[in-house]
Amino acid sequence: MLDHLPDQGHPSGIVPSSVVLTAFQVMSRVFLTWAVTHSVKEVQNEDSVLLFVVAWTITEIIRYSFYTFSLLNHLPYLIKWARYTLFIVLYPMGVSGELLTIYAALPFVRQAGLYSISLPNKYNFSFDYYTFLILVMISYIPIFPQLYFHMLHQRRKVLSYTEEHKKSE
């Protein structure tokens, strides 16, 4: 879910990512991995799982290569280009895999009542995991375009600066 979150400042000084956005990304990946794919065994062989796992894997290889070379003050242009270009394909690929996996899980979640709590109970509380998953899917509609277009803006800014800097040398 929302796997290519944009860089938003660097409070730690180690990597240029917001702690909040990084925590959100980690939580969303744990959610997709555990609360959907692990919990709903029937979806584990879906092509959509392979789709998001491949997208996440390539993204992390690029991201941490970028961070490592940046920390070493020796960032090859190819790594920078990959960081700010390959998301154009990888982000929609990962999001598609995530959404298709959640969608594939829905009938099994509904049939089994997975993680749902019905009334009456001593806490006077109910929770419908099926509806929650649908709301998670709907949340991609406003969030994905914002993050994607932010990354396109970052790409323009970072790569055009690099090109201008190269021309002036």
> Angle formed by the axes of helices 129-168 and 77-85, to 10°?
140
Whether residue 136 contacts residue 70, with contact meaning beta carbons closer than 8 Å, is answered with no
Q: Supply 33's token pair.
A: 């991995």
The residue written with tokens 């997709």 in the block is: 32
Is 98 one of the annotated active-site residues of the chain? yes
Distances (CA, A) of 84 to 5, 18, 41, 99, 137: 12, 17, 35, 23, 26
Query: What's the half-sphere exposure (Cβ side, CA atoms, 13 Å) at 151?
Result: 23
Kindly name the residue from 98, 129, 130, 148 that is annotated as catalytic. 98
Is 161 one of the annotated active-site residues of the chain? no
| Residue 116 phi, psi dihedral angles, 5° rounding | -95, 150
Kindly name the residue from 91, 129, 130, 148 that is annotated as catalytic. 91
Cis peptide upstream of residue 120 (ω within 30 degrees of 0): yes
Active-site amino acid positions: 91, 98
